[in-house]
Every structure is written in C-alpha cells, then in structure tokens.
Amino acid sequence: MSLSDFGKNISFNKNRLKTSFIIGAIACLPVTGFIYGFIICSDCGNGLQSVPGRSFLGIIYSFFTLITIGKPWTNGGAVMTSTNLRPYVLLTLIIVATLTYILLLKRNKKNGEQGTF
C-alpha cells in the first residue's frame, strides 16, 4: 500500500456528519453552562454533599448561558458583569460533535453498514 492510496478507502457519510454537527450545535451552550456552573460554585463545600448544590447551579447556568449566548452573568445577575465562555462553547461543540459522530459510527457498524467513517 503506497502513500497515494491512503485516503482512497475512506468514505464519509455526509448525513452522519451533518447530524453530529447539528446535535453538537444544539447541545454545546447548555453543556458548557452546566460545566461552568458546576465548577464556579464557591459556597457549595467539598465532597459528595456538594454535588446536589453544584448540579442545581449547573442547571441554572446552563439556562443563563443559553439565554446570553455564551456570556452568562456572574453573581446570578445581581452585578451586570459577565464571563465570556464562547471559546469554551466552540471547544464543547467540537467535542460533542465528535463524540456523536463516533457513536453514530458504532451504531451503524452494529447494523452492518459499510464504510470506514
């Protein structure tokens, strides 16, 4: 197998790629907001007893991030300062779309569909 034959066996399914990108685009803002809210909680404490409080704040910040399109308010909106999460939203989009593409690929391989990618 020569180097010129390397890319010839790869076939992309455009529908699978579009589906994974759309799912990633829909999920990237809430996922980034949840992670940010889960991490930002300073009054939640440590250990397992802090997980419900951090999860609740993560859910709130997922809505804040969705409403403000990547710049959620700091301090729950009391002070009008915001944190720019847009670079992390792009990173989350890439990660979620890649994971969705891999899951779709594995599911289609189980069903017997041909194709490398």
pLDDT tens per residue, range 61-116: 899 888 888 888 776 555 666 788 888 889 999 999 999 988 888 887 777 665 55
Long-range contacts of 37-40 (CB under 8 A, 24+ apart): 37/61, 37/62, 37/64, 37/72
Q: With 50 as the cut, is the pLDDT of residue 16 above it?
A: yes
Q: Residues near 38 by Cβ (< 8 Å), separated by ≥ 6? A: 54, 55, 57, 58, 61
Torsion of the alpha carbons at 16, 17, 18 and 21, rounded to the nearest 10: 120
| Structure tokens that stand for 13 in this block | 């399914």
pTM here is 0.73
Kindly give the residue spans of alpha helices, DSSP state H, lying in the chain. 14-40, 51-68, 86-110
**What is the per-residue pLDDT for 41?**
79
Tens digit of pLDDT for each residue in 25-62?
999 999 998 998 888 877 777 778 888 888 988 898 89
Q: Report yes or no on 89 lying in a domain.
A: yes
Q: Report yes or no on 4 lying in a domain.
A: no
DSSP 114: -
Q: Report yes or no on 45 lying in a domain.
A: yes
Look up the domain containing 92 and give its range: 14-110
Q: Report yes or no on 2 lying in a domain.
A: no
**What is the per-residue pLDDT for 99?**
92
* Number of domains making up the chain: 1
Q: Report yes or no on 64 lying in a domain.
A: yes
Q: Report yes or no on 3 lying in a domain.
A: no
Q: Report yes or no on 115 lying in a domain.
A: no
Q: Report yes or no on 86 lying in a domain.
A: yes
